[in-house]
Amino acid sequence: MPNLTIAVILGSTRPGRNGKAVADWVLAQAAGRDGADYELIDLLDYPLPHFDEPMSPRAGLEPAGDHTKAWASKIAEYDGFVFVTPEYNHSTSGVLKNAIDYLYAEWNNKAAAFVSYGVVGGARAIEHLRGVLSELQIAHVQQQISFSMLTDFENYSVFKPAEAHGNFAGTMFGQLETWAAAMRDVRNLTPVA
């Protein structure tokens, strides 16, 4: 069976963002894992306007916008996701929530893990994402990684994660890959007539 494909989705696009260093750390931790290939998706490369499709993606219709078609095609490639999110006002970033809302079927029956950062580690952003992704039929894993702006960043901008986070990353990847493989089997099931 081919390797699992996992997207590390960088959920911040603001100038001076800290998320790129965090996403690069995630990719470095995942490098060389057997059975799974990890790839960065930077939302800067997918500039989506505020949701502008005429119908909900739940309707299952062909998207109208070329930007939506490109985004749908990209997300459809993956078996699972690591969402790298800042915490803004006790939630995730608007750009990440908007990107999630653009699609439905492309997210279904896949797996996700979370890496967050913020003054209190971004845990509240993850809690909001868990609810959103449950609605999209994404199985999300228990192990998460939360980086504090106070202890894992120097001067709130230079990423210097505590060494212990590497152990959490191994657990998180193991859980994610197990669920991504199981959900790939679910997607391949033939519906009972």
Q: Is 4-188 a domain of CATH 3.40.50.360?
A: yes
Q: What is the pLDDT of residues 81-121, one digit of tens each?
A: 999 999 999 999 999 999 999 999 999 999 999 999 999 89
Helix axes 123-135, 94-101, angle to 10 degrees: 10
pTM: 0.95
pLDDT of residue 193: 53
Residues 58, 156: Cα–Cα separation, whole Å:
40
Q: Which amino acid is at 47?
A: P
pLDDT of residue 1: 73
Please compute the mean of the pLDDT values over residues 147-151 and round it to a whole number: 96
Instruction: Please spell the DSSP secondary structure of 167-183, one letter per residue.
Output: HHHHHHHHHHHHHHHHH
Task: Flag whether pLDDT at 190 surpasses 80.
Answer: no
Q: What is the pLDDT of residues 21-74, one digit of tens each?
A: 999 999 999 998 999 999 999 999 999 999 999 999 999 999 999 999 999 999
**Residue 121 phi, psi dihedral angles, 5° rounding:** 85, -5
Q: Are 138 and 107 in contact (CB under 8 A)?
A: yes
User: Could you give the 3-state DSSP secondary structure of residue 58?
Assistant: helix
**Residue 162 phi, psi dihedral angles, 5° rounding:** -60, 145
100: enclosing H helix or E strand: helix 94-101
**What's the whole-number average pLDDT of the chain?**
95
User: Could you give the 3-state DSSP secondary structure of residue 46?
Assistant: coil
Length of the chain in residues, anyone?
193
Task: Flag whether pLDDT at 163 surpasses 70.
Answer: yes
Please compute the mean of the pLDDT values over residues 174-187 and round it to a whole number: 96
pLDDT of residue 2: 83
Residues 37, 5: Cα–Cα separation, whole Å:
5
Q: What is the pLDDT of residues 119-147, one digit of tens each?
A: 989 999 999 999 999 999 999 999 999 99
Reported as a pLDDT band with limits 50, 70 and 90, residue 192 is low
Helices (H) and strands (E) in the chain, counts: 5, 7
User: Could you give the 3-state DSSP secondary structure of residue 161?
Assistant: coil
Q: Are 86 and 116 in contact (CB under 8 A)?
A: yes
